[in-house]
């Protein structure tokens, strides 16, 4: 993913998040602290506004710069987690101008690992990791198998949706929702919905004919 495509992806994610505002807010009101969407929306605004400063940078430094900016501007529990994700991705990509799929998959995996480490959470605890970890593992496998891009994107989108829906039956053990105990069962995790929306938006973008993802 080169920097122009990265910048397009930030804009696409913002549009998708705004289009799903009512559902994400509703989910957060049910089991969260009510500020998840506000923080995510602020993060999207900051990311898109930063785009002109990212244009001249390779993807790695651009993602690191984005992460640093988000760390200082997004509140709530999600801010440091999302910032850590982008900074870890940036570190793995280094100064490579046009990362191939294998390097991008490795960077994504490192970004997810940074969230896991910072949040001290794992799969099955009703957090955004219940989408991000399975999607990362699938991405790594599909890239290693040389899966064609359209199929890769379709499978990642489906994996994100399936795991997002699965959080409905989970008891939360991390985050604000863990205070609800069994009462959180029956509700989809809002962070997982946000990740599912973002992953779907990026997959839709990179599958467009004019996209450049080696």
Where residue 73 falls among pLDDT bands split at 50, 70, 90?
confident
Is residue 36 pLDDT above 90, yes or no?
no
Query: What pLDDT score does 33 carry?
Result: 64
Q: Coil, helix or strand for 55?
A: coil
Residue that wins the pLDDT comparison between 191 and 139 = 139
**Structural domain 3-206, CATH architecture:** Alpha Horseshoe (1.25)
Q: Look at the block and give the residue holding tokens 């053990």.
A: 173
| Residue 66 CB-density burial (10 A; 0-12 exposed, 13-18 middle, 19+ buried) | buried
* Whole-angstrom distance, CA of residue 61 vs CA of residue 186: 41
């Amino acid at each position: 993913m080169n920097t122009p495509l990265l910048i397009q992806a930030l804009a696409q994610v913002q549009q998708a998040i705004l289009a799903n505002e009512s559902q994400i807010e509703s989910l957060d009101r049910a089991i969260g602290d009510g500020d998840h969407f506000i923080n995510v929306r602020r993060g999207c605004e900051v990311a898109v506004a930063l785009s002109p400063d990212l244009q001249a940078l390779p993807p790695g430094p651009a993602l690191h710069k984005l992460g640093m900016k988000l760390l200082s501007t997004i509140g709530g529990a999600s801010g440091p987690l999302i910032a850590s994700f982008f900074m870890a991705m940036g570190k793995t990509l280094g100064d490579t101008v046009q990362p191939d799929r294998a390097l991008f998959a490795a960077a994504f995996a490192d970004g997810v690992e940074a969230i896991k480490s910072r949040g001290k959470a794992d799969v099955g605890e009703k957090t955004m990791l219940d989408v991000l970890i399975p999607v990362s593992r699938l991405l790594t496998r599909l890239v290693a198998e040389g899966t064609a891009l359209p199929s890769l994107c379709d499978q990642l989108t489906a994996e994100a949706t399936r795991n997002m829906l699965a959080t409905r039956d989970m008891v939360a053990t991390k985050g604000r929702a863990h205070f609800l105990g069994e009462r959180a069962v029956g509700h989809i995790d809002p962070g997982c919905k946000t990740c599912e929306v973002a992953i779907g938006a990026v997959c839709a973008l990179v599958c467009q004919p004019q996209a450049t993802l080696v």
